[in-house]
Amino acid sequence: MNTQVYSNANELRGFSVKNCASMPQPGSVLMCPPDYYDVVDVKNPFMVGKAGTVDKALARVQWDGVKDAYTSKGKSVKLIDPVEGLEDMVFCANQTMVGLTTRMERVCLLGRMRHPSRRKEVPYFEKWFKQEGYRIERLKDETAMFEGMGDCLWHPGKRLLWGGYGFRTDPEVYKEVANLFEAPVILLRLVNERFYHLDTCFCPLSQESVLIYPSAFDPESLGLILKIFPIVLVAEELEATKLLACNAAVIDSKIALIQKGNEIATRHISAIGIEPVPLETGEFMKSGGSVFCMRMPIY
């Protein structure tokens, strides 16, 4: 079983995605209604000047649109109850990391958020996943930071993980992540503070293709991406920085739910045979999150 953590292209000699075991696609997604969603402080560059500007009625309409898009495409949506005072809980991708072991055991690794206000969200997700029958795991190092699926993404359909670090997650955690999920991890270093999570600049579309914003990564990380993916689509600067093009959510490598207005990215995605579904998430982008951030794929 390969549980190695790779940090440069030279280490990938002899490595092939084709040799990684297959992984089932998630059957459902978890979402949190935006009853208490708001921007109350600044945790990333998108939030500067946005405090108090959220149109809560419009946010609900946009959230419903994302939820309805999943159900219309055949994915069931499960809900976790929102909690008053936890305004960022709506971004379900960050509190945990979930997946399957080689024995198909469902595992939930609890995140350790860098911002204290977000750490309060984690116990509610722990309770939800425990009730669903997941094995709950915690990082052994109580000082290490790990922001769940905001920084740690499964390669589509394969037992392979991509681990982002640089702003929110510590790279040292990924050896433990690899062991827990019985999967190798390829590390990607983020160097542009606007792209504070991996899911803001890296969107695996299929086993062969990915959408990225190259300026978010250091050269070694770009080398790793180019080594693994035969097809690398590049998000245009305005779309990546203003419309969070790479924060799209992909369903079974067939459909990409993406923020409206990402015309160039949409054309690229369509050209490789994936159906783009434009959605409006403008109220949530005020917090630095779009479609991907608003749900957690679950098994």
Q: Which CATH architecture has domain 25-298?
A: 5-stranded Propeller (3.75)
pLDDT at 258: 98
Q: Nearest 5 degrees, angle CA 23-CA 187-CA 149?
A: 55
Count other Cβ atoms within 10 Å, centred on residue 194.
Answer: 17
Q: How far is CA 40 from the centre of its chain?
A: 23
- Strand-pairing partners, residue 257, are 249, 277
Tell me, what's the pLDDT at 1?
85
Enter the pTM of the model. 0.97
Q: What pLDDT is stored for residue 215 in this prediction?
A: 98
Which residues in the chain show pLDDT less than 70? none
Instruction: Specify the residue for token string 């949409």.
Output: 266
DSSP state of 2: -
pLDDT attached to residue 2 = 93
Report the 3 state secondary structure along 3-47: CCEECCHHHHCCCCHHHCCECCCCCEEEECCCCCCCCCCCCCHHH
pLDDT score at 44? 96
In this prediction, residue 287 carries a pLDDT of 98
Known catalytic residues? 197, 293
pLDDT the model gives residue 130: 98
Burial of 202 (0-12, 13-18, 19+ CB in 10 A): buried
